[in-house]
Structure 1
């Protein structure tokens, strides 16, 4: 038995023989197995998407500091990325669930996202001021999210359940390969092509600019390859393929929320948000806390909209009440396993965001002894961070091959636990390793954690959500990636200032602790499809 088949069975595949026989008697169509090259082609676009994403992660803090940002301001400047994902991904998921045209269901969004991300990558390294760079980050991240979100649902659509882990692992492999090259590009350009990695104050180095140009071209070509080389099944074919899978799941809206529940929820969330905001204003607290208070408040009006739509539905089905209602309603009716996986994701992505926004500042100050962005020491450190990010993504590509076999030996959940502990120990060790040339060693653990984060939760999730809502639920799942990033952007700077004298190395250590908490949380996920 292959490792992937073992994992799929563990995720709950085909547990009711009687229903399976009934489906056969009704001439249900069996979804075809895809061969290696078909899976390769449908996942290849992720190489390009991750190319852009890795360039962003490894270089945006550097760009912000080059344009005059202080260390304390970096988290709030990064807020564009997670906030954009929070808004864009469920919308794109819902729209792609309900799209079918000559390009297909998910592919139109791949293409649109790729075009705008490519343009953003070309423009961002020419930002003349800090606020323009922050705005370009917003546009870039929105575009990446438009392209990225449907790729997760694409695997769920095109692969039968016993091949989905293989599909997500293939995505993780391309994520690793793309990110290795992208993260290392400025270093490679400087050390092998004699491209300058320094520039006058307020200007972005040529090594960064050329890396962004190259990344834009790679992203567009890779996504374009998936668009032209892959096919999609029609909604009717998907409904037929997934009928048995749907039959095995209980309806997610058995206990539907009423008008009064939505209205009361709206009042509660708005009241809490307003009180929190008032406290921030009156006590003159850190301005970054407004992200949390206004985010809490904003969930109130969304529920109020739902109560109004539901009250005026005039016998219409809930599914016909529009995008806002259905996304919020589906959020309240997630399967139990999805709610538990949300906790796993929360701690994992808080850790990742801490790593992404603070590693450059941590390594340049703690290991290279410089916080001055125009010095050679700072820029050498920043280049080395790019290589470290490249290395963890390279190890992630290797880990993506190993994970299915590890899961066969110890189980899917314990596999994730092992990987998250490896990543946590790796980040914590940044504090204890003084020689920056040795920092690639902890990146082995970070790479295993990254590959696991990108594959295991999605493989577990795809087995418990309705196939017809694959896109919207993958988008909602992104909430639990985005919310911890918003929280990190809101409080990490404040925590460093209050408890750690503003030293960014401690943000990396805190990220390691949160990774290990995530590894513990996955052990409590209930994978029974019938438990809602």
Structure 2
């Protein structure tokens, strides 16, 4: 087992203290996690088409700009009703095909069918009906799919899962929006209803990607089967409407404080996003293509149709930016706090969007949209990591459904209010609508800064809402010994985590016997201390210990090779500085069966001037944990 795996194993055991089911989940490699998330590429190709193309399609077949919010009512209503219900039902379901798969596969098939039929609409009522069915399918599939990721991944791997998910979400949106622009350039002409011929091509490609990516994910991902007792409990839970809505009500009442805080920010950010998706083509058409949206028939002009294609390119650009930003978003949030990073991302987007309507060069429009890309990367990753790390595993489905309610309620409010706001307050001016969107994002960012993080006992260890409580300046150096055995590698993993949190230098010490190895001497294996003979053996032990740490980009690492006993080496390196910390395993030479400490930790604790932390290592090497209260001062 590598040092990285040892460190993950130690963290998993800490996580298992609050959720024992964590240890039943296998550690997955990145390829498996990628294939498990692949369906999000197709799902967000479809969502990208909906966000960019549906409102322009409504306009092309005769909708007034003021009516666009109400025509898009399907998304908020279906999300508000369907996702929490599906979340509860999937939590309370187990079939031969799994818990989540029956829901997200059936939902995706319905959504793909609606994408295939959408280009054939010839009247506004037909388009609205298909949009309702499309959103019903998407909402049936989305929440169980997100819950599946949490079901499969341990807490220690969940950030990787959501990071890859964010990249694939961005990739699907990029391809969808760019395809709108490319097909518009390649395919000309319209049908009898005035719908351009390039619309069917993009929607049919979207249906193909949606089915293919989800089929691969479903085929390559096997759900973890609950125990017989768990299956019996799941099947005993009532599934009638009263029980389902009762579970949702109780989940809302018991919702963690952090979710209430996320909901405050969501109110502004999702209102603004929904306005952008509905009015983006009007804003771009008015600013860069000279489209007068107040003139009857503007929706049939070549300038507006060109603006629709350019909107796809602009949306593809911000999705591309989001793909890059997603790679650094979660590491930044772990360092500075999720709410701080999210607040900055929203404020950057708000400033850019406020200036966007005043950019009249279509090429310069890409610059302010960088901010929206950064914000979109944050929106698609940070809240889901925070929520899944703060709620019980058995209720992830319902809580992700409630999180979606926090998305759709602002959208629902937007659909019934923004039409009047646009007509009466903003004077049907797309430029003012663009500024309004920017203001919404600024308010969301300010709301995030006003959100106080919970007390330390309620804070998420995986993804802190506020700035992480660091041990900065507590220790100058964290000193740990290693002889290359699995137990010592696990101890080094613990020490590295402490050094990272304290922003201290990690010193890896390897002691060696300068005399030659006695004839017939066989080194001890397993978890016991292995005596090293000669400087070369000690150097090899140190290099093995730090190899995985350097791969993980730990910067402040010092290697020390010392002649003498391990305890003497640790004490010599620590010196008389009380601001150091020695981390040592409990096992070693002299630890008889049943004894808690070997001779090395006993001698270190007895003679150290600085604090000492003892790491518990079982004889099998499979259980590693920090012994509570084992730190002692000299």
Is TM more than 0.5 here? yes
Deviations 1:121-157 (A, max 9, x none): 0111111100110111010011011111112211211
Residue of structure 2 in register with 1:521 after alignment: 447
Where do 1:409-420 residues align within 5 Å? 409-420=335-346
Matched, 1:41 2:35: yes
Residue of structure 1 in register with 2:55 after alignment: 61
Whether the 8 Å CA contact 2:180–2:312 is kept in 1: the answer is yes
Where do 1:222-371 residues align within 5 Å? 222-236=213-227, 322-370=243-291, 371=293
Tell me how far 1:519 sits from its aligned partner. 2.3
Question: Which structure has greater helix proportion?
Answer: 1
- Cα distance change on mapping 1:520 and 1:34 into 2, 3 Å: farther
Tell me how far 1:531 sits from its aligned partner. 4.6
Tell me how far 1:380 sits from its aligned partner. 0.7
Matched, 1:184 2:105: no
Whether the 8 Å CA contact 2:325–2:373 is kept in 1: the answer is yes
CA distance in 1, matches of 2:230, 2:455: 22
How many residue pairs get aligned? The number is 441
Deviations 1:195-253 (A, max 9, x none): 01x5267321111111001100110000111100011112339979xxxxxxxxxxxxx
Tell me how far 1:47 sits from its aligned partner. 0.4
* Residue number among 43, 53, 76 corresponding to 1:82 in the alignment: 76
Q: Which runs of 5+ in 2 are unaligned?
A: 460-634
- Cα distance change on mapping 1:128 and 1:239 into 2, 3 Å: same
- Partner-residue secondary structure (3-state), 1:232: coil
Structure with bigger RCO (C-alpha 8 Å, 6+ apart) = 1
* Residue number among 102, 107, 117 corresponding to 2:111 in the alignment: 117
Tell me how far 1:16 sits from its aligned partner. 7.3
Tell me how far 1:366 sits from its aligned partner. 3.0
Residue of structure 2 in register with 1:375 after alignment: 301
- Cα distance change on mapping 1:451 and 1:216 into 2, 3 Å: same
* Residue number among 420, 435, 453 corresponding to 1:494 in the alignment: 420
TM-score by length of 1: 0.78
TM-score by length of 2: 0.66
CA distance in 2, matches of 1:354, 1:317: 40
CA distance in 1, matches of 2:180, 2:366: 17
Whether the 8 Å CA contact 1:195–1:206 is kept in 2: the answer is yes
Whether the 8 Å CA contact 2:280–2:311 is kept in 1: the answer is yes
Matched, 1:105 2:99: yes
Deviations 1:295-324 (A, max 9, x none): xxxxxxxxxxxxxxxxxxxxx999995112
- Cα distance change on mapping 1:317 and 1:205 into 2, 3 Å: closer
Whether the 8 Å CA contact 2:45–2:176 is kept in 1: the answer is yes
CA distance in 2, matches of 1:166, 1:131: 43
- Partner-residue secondary structure (3-state), 1:322: helix
Deviations 1:439-477 (A, max 9, x none): 111221111101100110111111211110100110011
- Partner-residue secondary structure (3-state), 1:235: coil
Matched, 1:396 2:322: yes
Matched, 1:210 2:201: yes
- Partner-residue secondary structure (3-state), 1:187: helix
CA distance in 2, matches of 1:511, 1:239: 47
- Cα distance change on mapping 1:47 and 1:455 into 2, 3 Å: same
Tell me how far 1:15 sits from its aligned partner. 11
Residue of structure 1 in register with 2:578 after alignment: none
- Partner-residue secondary structure (3-state), 1:99: coil
CA distance in 1, matches of 2:331, 2:263: 25
CA distance in 2, matches of 1:238, 1:171: 32
Question: Which structure has greater strand proportion?
Answer: 2
CA distance in 2, matches of 1:237, 1:72: 55
Whether the 8 Å CA contact 1:185–1:211 is kept in 2: the answer is yes
* Residue number among 84, 88, 96 corresponding to 1:94 in the alignment: 88
CA distance in 2, matches of 1:84, 1:28: 33
Tell me how far 1:357 sits from its aligned partner. 0.6
Whether the 8 Å CA contact 1:319–1:326 is kept in 2: the answer is no
Which sits farther off after the overlay, 426-435 or 207-216? Answer: 426-435
Whether the 8 Å CA contact 1:351–1:514 is kept in 2: the answer is yes
Tell me how far 1:521 sits from its aligned partner. 2.7
CA distance in 1, matches of 2:46, 2:210: 7
Tell me how far 1:405 sits from its aligned partner. 3.1
CA distance in 2, matches of 1:405, 1:338: 21
- Cα distance change on mapping 1:232 and 1:16 into 2, 3 Å: closer
Deviations 1:139-193 (A, max 9, x none): 00110111111122112111111221221121111111011111121211132xx
Tell me how far 1:346 sits from its aligned partner. 1.6
Where do 1:375-524 residues align within 5 Å? 375-523=301-449, 524=451
Whether the 8 Å CA contact 2:12–2:154 is kept in 1: the answer is no
Residue of structure 2 in register with 1:199 after alignment: 190
CA distance in 2, matches of 1:379, 1:333: 49
Whether the 8 Å CA contact 1:341–1:525 is kept in 2: the answer is no
Whether the 8 Å CA contact 2:166–2:381 is kept in 1: the answer is yes
CA distance in 2, matches of 1:378, 1:519: 32
* Residue number among 134, 141, 144 corresponding to 2:135 in the alignment: 141
**CA RMSD after TM alignment:** 2.8
4+ runs of 1 displaced by more than 4 Å? 13-17, 237-240, 316-321, 527-532
CA distance in 2, matches of 1:447, 1:114: 26
- Cα distance change on mapping 1:409 and 1:468 into 2, 3 Å: closer
Tell me how far 1:402 sits from its aligned partner. 1.6
Whether the 8 Å CA contact 1:157–1:238 is kept in 2: the answer is no
- Cα distance change on mapping 1:28 and 1:85 into 2, 3 Å: closer
